Amino acid sequence: MSAVLTPPATFDDLMRVEGKAELIAGRIVRFMPNGHAPARAAFKISIALDGYATRVGRGYVYGDQMGFAMRPPLQNGRQSFSPDTSYYDGPLPANPMRFVDGPPTFAVEVRSETDYTNRAEKEIAAKRADYFEAGTLAVWDVDPIARMVTSYRHDDPTNGRVFHEGDNADAEPALPGWQLAVQTIFA
């Protein structure tokens, strides 16, 4: 008796998934909805990013339902990203109902309740490495419990710069001149 092989999932399959999910090595990986603090932090960052995009007259800001398609897939098989908040200043898809082809310029990942284990730390670091492999310029790791932001850059991907309340966090080199007061994220 032979096993029945399931064909790998596609971007079209991912487009039909309700809720937040990403496509990794032909598998659809679903994510749980965020609680109050992570959702609020992502929203506050999105508002500030949208102000930046308006001020400089370029780029688009997205919430956590936006998909970024990696064609071809990354070395580990990752085919998409869906960050909690993102800024993108590349070309838009011909069909505006589809995913953007390529990585976000700046990605924000806000920790949820289950993101505080050793395993989660490794997964967060691996996803951050994926962002940089894809071409993202800066990634924020936002920690609502510690009320801090760690900013990573593509040219120094493993050494984050930590910003606490009272600091102004930046997303250099992705967003030149943009800063956000950390306390406003958690207010």
What would the pLDDT profile of 21-45 be if each residue is shown by its tens digit?
A: 888 888 988 887 889 999 999 999 9
Contact 160, 172 (CB under 8 A): no
State both tokens at 33.
């909805």
- Per-residue pLDDT tens digits for 153-180: 999 999 999 999 999 999 999 999 999 9
The answer to pTM > 0.75 is yes
Architecture of domain 34-185 in this structure: Alpha-Beta Complex (3.90)
* Domain positions in the chain: 34-185
| Cα maximum dimension of the chain | 65
Give the 3-state secondary structure of residue 161: strand
> What residues does 22 pair with on adjacent strands?
29
Contact 82, 64 (CB under 8 A): yes
